[in-house]
Amino acid sequence: MSGGGAAPAMKMSDVFLLLGVTFLIGGLFVHGLVSPTPLHADDEPYSNGASLLKGDTIEFTVTAENESSVIVEIANEEGDVVLSESFLLPSGDSTSIDFEADGKGFYSYTVDFSEGSGEVVVDVDRKLLIDFIIYPLGIVCVIFGFYKRKDEKMDESIDAVLVSND
């Protein structure tokens, strides 16, 4: 430390507690904060991708601010288009498109507003729920951290001043 003092070493229980709470809060942010992406006809198409296993699904929820023409395309690893949908949406209307992967691999998708503007929300649902492994891992770290804290308290020496009755 810059003041010449010494900081006590971080206890192992505190490390596991911090790690477990970080996993739990991080998981909430990853799964809970899905924000819509605004798109306009003048902008570049929204492109992204996801690694999917057989049976995993991608759901596109498209909402139009004004009368819009929308194109949604999904391509597999080889570049073959496996889903292509185009539709017209009236002002304020929304629609949902579901895609189920028929094999494992990386699927890239593109959402394009050729006319109008709106927003899109992309939701990937896993069949095996492997995305949720972070929650049990966080709980195990927190429980182990409390166990280690209790164990560390048992091993502490008790300093006492003995006073004689003379």
pLDDT at 80: 92
In a domain, 6, yes or no: no
pLDDT at 120: 94
In a domain, 2, yes or no: no
pLDDT at 162: 63
pLDDT at 109: 95
pLDDT at 83: 93
Tokens of residue 88, six digits: 């017209």
In a domain, 162, yes or no: no
127-132 contacts, C-beta under 8 A, 24 or more apart: 127/53, 127/54, 127/55, 127/56, 127/57, 128/53, 131/30, 131/31, 132/27, 132/31
pLDDT at 3: 65
Domain interval for residue 111: 12-153
* Domain total of the chain: 1
What is the reported pTM? 0.70
pLDDT at 17: 93
Spans of the chain below 70 pLDDT? 1-5, 156-162, 166
Residue 140 maps to which CATH number? Answer: 2.60.120.380
In a domain, 87, yes or no: yes
